[in-house]
Amino acid sequence: MGAPELGLVQAAIEANTPSLLAYFARRASSEDAADMFGDALLVAWRRAADLPADAGEARMWLFGVARRVAADHRRSQRRRSALQDKLVAELDAGKAAPTEPTDDQARAAIARLRSLDQEIIRLVYWDGFTLAETARLLDRPEGTIRSRHHRARQQLRAHLERNGLPRAPDSARATGTH
């Protein structure tokens, strides 16, 4: 890309920045508008050789880029929304089993543990890893993970019993017997 092309792109962008920002702001949230503006600038710089030399034509070209960026953004939002809707429907239909307890008191009991113990409990019971796998994931000795898991389970059991909550079921995955 030659210096004249860079100069044309820079001049066209500087002349049209307020209008382009307003274009995106009328079509999306402030954060999305800023992202779309950045995407449009990337396209303009990458395709600098295609930018017309005439200021009026350059403005039209930049707005064509902006229109395509906005359309891409809308399509992306629709796909993301459709995927979210599909996942919500599957969860509501019971096709996907929840991976975390829904009981706020159980969450609070887990939150009382040390951060490493919380992660061990989550990896074993919520994510379904064995203690050996958890040790590898956390880059800790397996014996350390086993003892911390045992202690964390005792603390959780005591807290749940003190608060009249049912005990969590034992997991065969924790022992690695699956």
pLDDT tens-digit profile of 79-108? 888 888 888 887 777 654 444 444 677 778
Q: How far apart are CA 73 and CA 79, in angstroms?
A: 10
Rounded alpha-carbon distances, angstroms, from residue 170 to 55, 66, 167 = 72, 56, 9
pLDDT in tens, 17-73: 999 999 999 888 989 999 999 999 999 999 999 999 999 999 999 999 999 999 999
Residue 169, SS3?
A: coil
* H or E segment and range at residue 93: helix 55-93
Residues of the chain with CATH 1.10.1740.10: 3-93
The DSSP code for 2 is: -
Residues of the chain with CATH 1.10.10.10: 104-175
Give exposure, 130-143, as e/b (b: 16+ Cβ within 10 Å).
bbebbbeebeeeee
**What is the pLDDT at residue 178?**
40
Q: How far apart are CA 124 and CA 135, in angstroms?
A: 10
Q: Which CATH entry fits the domain spanning 104-175: 1.25.40.10, 1.10.10.10, 3.30.390.30, 3.40.630.10?
A: 1.10.10.10
The fold of 3-93 is: Rna Polymerase Sigma Factor; Chain: A (1.10.1740)
Q: Are 110 and 121 in contact, with CB atoms under 8 Å apart?
A: yes
Taking 70 as the threshold, does the pLDDT of residue 127 lie above it?
yes
Tell me, yes or no, if the pTM score tops 0.85.
Answer: no
How does the average pLDDT of the chain come out, rounded? 83
